[in-house]
């Protein structure tokens, strides 16, 4: 079973334009889609599509349309009392795949709300194959919320993955090795935020990305899956480092691609695949998601894992 926590869920509204976005101009909209989302929620969606049991913990009222949508999609949603309404995030996509995101902050939370989320995870974490803590934190939550929760999850057992950015990511890195998760999934920008490197260089150079990720592994993180956009991803573990190049993909929307990659890795681990095979499955999921509109999570039948090229990065610092 895969347990997910999305502390700052969102209604993901995607507006697809039929031309290039130009500030100050009137645009024609080709389509509008809306879906209950958030990083953890997206991973639970992917799990259900792959016939893997999943529980999604989200702060929302039991009768909120957000919760009802997830339940209707077959997701075992466990809502905890929220601080306010679920936020709305807006994504604008252009025909060439360029994506512009406008994310709302979410309702400010009190310490009680944070503890209710933590308890909902802790009571189930010991029976989960993986617990995935994913996404931004709502206003009012302490930056070290994830770091503290990882420490607490260590006492109940099970493996922990964390996918976050900005202050929560820096707080987690600062808390290593005491709060080291089994898996972290940064992208190029997030790697650069704590290494001081150039994000564009890290994304374009798998060896540079692997060297940056290695710093996390050396500080106790079990594995680092660094997603590099169109350049694929690298995986670094204590045993080695690998790069996977994605199959040819016509990018439609990059929203949810990183979440899909993270699920692909976790799915590979649940299936007992080797590290290179887990990486290949992660990149297959991420590239398939990038070729779909909005926040659409790919089905297993839409993967092209056989077209993912994995290379060992021998000699990586």
Q: Which residues are catalytic?
A: 259
- 134 touches 157 (CB < 8 A): no
Q: Residue 131's beta-bridge partner residues?
A: 3, 160
Place of tokens 């709060």: 179
260's CB contacts (< 8 A; 6+ apart) are: 42, 46, 285, 286, 288, 289, 297, 298
CA 138 to centroid of chain Cα atoms: 16
Token pair in block for residue 191: 């790697």
Place of tokens 């349309």: 65
């Amino acid at each position: 079973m895969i347990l997910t926590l999305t502390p700052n869920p969102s209604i993901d509204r995607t507006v697809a334009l039929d031309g290039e976005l130009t500030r100050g101009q009137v645009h024609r909209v080709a389509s509008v889609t809306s879906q209950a989302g958030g990083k953890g929620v997206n991973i639970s969606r992917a799990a259900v599509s792959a016939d893997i049991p999943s529980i999604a913990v989200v702060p929302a009222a039991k009768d909120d349309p957000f919760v009802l949508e997830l339940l209707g999609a077959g997701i075992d949603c466990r809502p905890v009392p929220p601080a306010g309404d679920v936020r709305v995030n807006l994504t604008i996509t252009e025909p060439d795949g360029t994506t512009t995101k406008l994310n709302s902050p979410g309702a400010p939370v009190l310490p009680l709300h944070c503890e209710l989320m933590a308890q909902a995870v802790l009571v189930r974490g010991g029976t989960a194959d993986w617990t995935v803590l994913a996404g931004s934190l709502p206003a009012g939550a302490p930056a070290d919320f994830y770091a503290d929760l990882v420490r607490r999850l260590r006492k109940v057992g099970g493996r922990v993955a964390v996918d976050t950015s900005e202050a929560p990511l820096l707080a987690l890195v600062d808390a290593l090795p005491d709060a080291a998760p089994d898996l972290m999934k940064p992208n190029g920008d997030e790697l650069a935020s704590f290494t001081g490197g150039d994000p564009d260089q890290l994304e374009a150079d798998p060896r540079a990305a692997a060297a940056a990720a290695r710093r996390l592994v050396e500080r106790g993180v079990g594995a680092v899956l660094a997603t590099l956009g169109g350049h694929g991803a690298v995986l670094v573990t204590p045993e080695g480092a690998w790069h996977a190049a994605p199959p040819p993909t016509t990018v439609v929307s990059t929203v949810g691609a990183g979440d899909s990659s993270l699920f692909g890795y976790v799915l590979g681990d649940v299936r007992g695949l080797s590290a290179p095979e887990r990486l290949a499955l992660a990149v297959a999921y991420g590239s398939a998601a990038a070729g779909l509109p909005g926040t659409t999570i790919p089905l297993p039948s839409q993967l092209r894992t056989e077209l993912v090229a994995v290379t060992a990065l021998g000699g990586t610092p």
